Every structure is written in C-alpha cells, then in structure tokens.
C-alpha cells in the first residue's frame, strides 16, 4: 500500500511519483545556490506580498539548497516568532477571561 502526502495547491502524490517529476525552475535555482538571491533581486515584491508563494519558496530553499542559508533560517524563525506571539496573546486573553469569570 503506497502512502500519499498532500502538497499545498497540488493533488496527492506518492513519494515515488514525486521523485520522477521534473524539477521546477525554482528548484533548479535552489540546487545551484541562486534561488534566494533571485527572489530578493527579481521577485522581492511577490515574495513579500504572496504568503503561498513565500511558503512554497521557503520550502524549496529548505528541501533543495545545498548550503545552509542563514537568511532563510532567519525568515522562518521570524515567522515562528510572530505565530508564537499571536498564540501567547490568545492564551493570555483566555486566561484573563477565565480569571474574570471566577
């Protein structure tokens, strides 16, 4: 029995099927070590404005880049920090409401 995984904005594909798909232009740039620079110089506006595109590019950078990119790690840590701030704010509001109801 094959296992399937969902890719964002794609149909489910098995791991074996994924392995035979051709590399995208972005994946080729990532493997060559040029994707992050390309995004910053040529696609900066879209990278900042389109969350789905940004997530896809960060995933490609993590999966395909042959080198560690501190900039990508910084981007991901920044997003994690923002998400945690929202989470902690929501938790604090819940705790405050609970304390008020006691």
Rounded CA separation 80/46 (Å): 20
pLDDT given at position 16: 58
Q: What's the Rg (C-alpha) of the chain?
A: 19
Average pLDDT over residues 81-92: 97
Rounded CA separation 50/17 (Å): 28
Cβ neighbors of 6 (< 8 A, separation 6 or more) are 12
Q: Are 61 and 35 within 8 A, CB to CB?
A: yes
Tens-digit pLDDT profile for residues 57-69: 999 999 999 988 9
How far, rounded to the nearest angstrom, does the alpha carbon of residue 100 sit from its chain's CA centroid?
38
Q: Are 26 and 46 within 8 A, CB to CB?
A: no
pTM of the model: 0.66
């Amino acid at each position: 029995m094959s296992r399937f995984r969902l890719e964002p904005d794609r149909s489910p594909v098995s791991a074996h099927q994924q392995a035979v798909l051709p590399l995208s232009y972005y994946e080729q740039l990532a493997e060559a070590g040029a994707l992050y620079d390309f995004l910053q110089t040529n696609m900066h506006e879209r990278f900042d404005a389109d969350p789905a595109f940004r997530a896809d590019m960060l995933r490609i950078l993590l999966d395909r880049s042959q080198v560690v990119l501190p900039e990508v790690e910084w981007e991901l840590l920044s997003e994690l920090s923002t998400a945690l701030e929202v989470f902690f704010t929501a938790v604090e509001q819940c705790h405050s409401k609970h304390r008020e109801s006691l």
